[in-house]
Structure 1
Amino acid sequence: MHGLYLPRRLEELPAIDVATPMGVRQPRRRGIYGHLLSLGPDDVVHIAGVPVTSLQRTLLDIAAKLSIDELVAVGDQIVCAHHRSFGRQTWPKVQLDVLKLYITRHSGARGMSRLKAAMELVRVGADSPRETMLRLIIARSALPNFEHNVEIRDAAGRGMVGPDLGCEEYKTCIEYDGKHHFTSEQQMKDHDRDFVTKSLGWHQVLINNDDFRSGELVVVTKIARMLKLGGWPDPQNLAGSSLEGRLTTRRDFG
């Protein structure tokens, strides 16, 4: 009901979880998993007239069922915000410091060690689970740091492009090409974005689902090669990994 990014194994469960406060009889009927919860005044909100656990409480309750990476993706979604000098402004569902404070107040909950580890990796600015995954892959590698909410600016200091992830030190940015990038309207916007990015001296890496399916090596190598163009020394020669047979290419020998 909150629209959280959940793995398919949870979205396709045959029953729903229904909780009642302590002291009220636990619900028991077909298609329902009943729970008794000790709920505070801020733990319940109403969506379309239906009382549901708040975002903070929901994250707490599902922590034991998700991996650390999955929890980071949900946490990123909850705190996502954009306040660039151009374009649409986005406000967080819950501010990051508020979410962290709530979690520290419930240290005895199931899955808490996993949730605390995930919260150390949550960042503001990721618009999708794939963007979160990209950042986590980078963090696990020897690549330099990339951040959300980076602005690529022109000579006058005006923000022109807001990439998914950016490394200002080496003028390298990353864009995730998801399904919505395949529409003709979005492709025209992407063409203009790519042109402006290159014109301003930045090196752009496009990552798609095929890259994710091919493995982290492909993602890291593609990013490393663009970073080298920006002057990154690449001490571990990450850009030198072979991508032969890992990329979908076409050659015309006519």
Structure 2
Amino acid sequence: MADAEQLRSEVSEMGDVRGGVLRTAVDLARPGVRSPRETRLRLLLARNGLPTPEVNADIFDSRGVFVAEIDLAFARWMVAVEDDGRVHAEDERQFARDADRWAAIRAAGWDHVRVLKHHLRDGGAPAVALARDALVRAGWRPGLSAHVC
């Protein structure tokens, strides 16, 4: 596996294609992302003026006990955004564990936003609105630096 600097070096040495698409892709990539859907959601939020979230961030409660790993975390505002593909929806025990996890995230003081498939329709406007509303409730205002987590 190559890190971002190694990829940038390779692009510089070998050349880019179609107006810098490789360089742009390296700049947009984040290490540790677990799925293409998470990446699409992160880029959707960023393209719509929201701050840059931390990917796969750990949440701890007030005693320092691990609560959950979050797809996209806006730690400064304690807003957790997750792509919820509902892959476990048919498994009753897994769904119960998920529901307990969601409650634990909220109990740790975080606003938990679950983005479902239907929120990504129409260009993702509903998903952006959910995340934006949670950030505004937490004190973020449009125009603040988009690169502050």
Taking CA–CA contacts closer than 8 Å with sequence separation of 6 or more, which of the two structures ends up with the larger relative contact order? 2
Matched, 1:157 2:67: no
Corresponding residue SS for 1:152: strand
Q: Which amino acid aligns with 1:154?
A: D
Matched, 1:144 2:47: no
Return the alpha-carbon distance in structure 2 between the equivalents of residues 183 and 95 of structure 1.
37
| TM-score, L = length of structure 1 | 0.51
Task: Please name the residue that 2:146 is paired with.
Answer: none
Comparing 134-143 with 153-162, which one deviates more in the overlay? 153-162
Q: 1:94 to 1:186 in 2, by over 3 A?
A: farther
User: Mind listing any 5+ residue stretches in structure 1 that lack a counterpart?
Assistant: 1-92, 236-254
Task: Please name the residue that 1:169 is paired with.
Answer: 76
Listed as ranges, the matches of 1:32-111 within 5 Å are 93-107=1-15, 110-111=17-18
Q: Which amino acid aligns with 1:178?
A: G
Return the alpha-carbon distance in structure 1 between the equivalents of residues 6 and 22 of structure 2.
15
1:67-123 per-residue CA deviation (whole Å, 9 max, x = no partner) reads xxxxxxxxxxxxxxxxxxxxxxxxxx433333333222211x544611111111111
Aligned residues of 2:72 and 2:80 also touching (Cα < 8 A) = yes
Q: How much has 1:215 moved relative to structure 2?
A: 2.5
Return the alpha-carbon distance in structure 1 between the equivalents of residues 59 and 109 of structure 2.
9
- Greater C-alpha radius of gyration: 1
Task: Please name the residue that 1:133 is paired with.
Answer: 40
| TM-score, L = length of structure 2 | 0.83
Return the alpha-carbon distance in structure 2 between the equivalents of residues 166 and 152 of structure 1.
9
Q: Match for 2:95 among 163, 166, 187?
A: 187
Corresponding residue SS for 2:112: strand
Q: Which amino acid aligns with 1:209?
A: K
Aligned residues of 2:7 and 2:26 also touching (Cα < 8 A) = no
Q: Which amino acid aligns with 2:53?
A: F
Aligned residues of 2:111 and 2:134 also touching (Cα < 8 A) = yes
CA RMSD, 1 decimal: 2.1
Q: Which amino acid aligns with 1:183?
A: E
Corresponding residue SS for 2:96: helix
Matched, 1:209 2:117: yes
In proportion to residue count, which structure has more helix?
Answer: 2
Aligned residues of 2:4 and 2:26 also touching (Cα < 8 A) = no
Q: How much has 1:138 moved relative to structure 2?
A: 1.3
Identity %: 30
State the aligned residue count: 143
Return the alpha-carbon distance in structure 1 between the equivalents of residues 32 and 128 of structure 2.
21
Task: Please name the residue that 2:137 is paired with.
Answer: 229
Q: How much has 1:219 moved relative to structure 2?
A: 1.3
Return the alpha-carbon distance in structure 2 between the equivalents of residues 145 and 112 of structure 1.
24
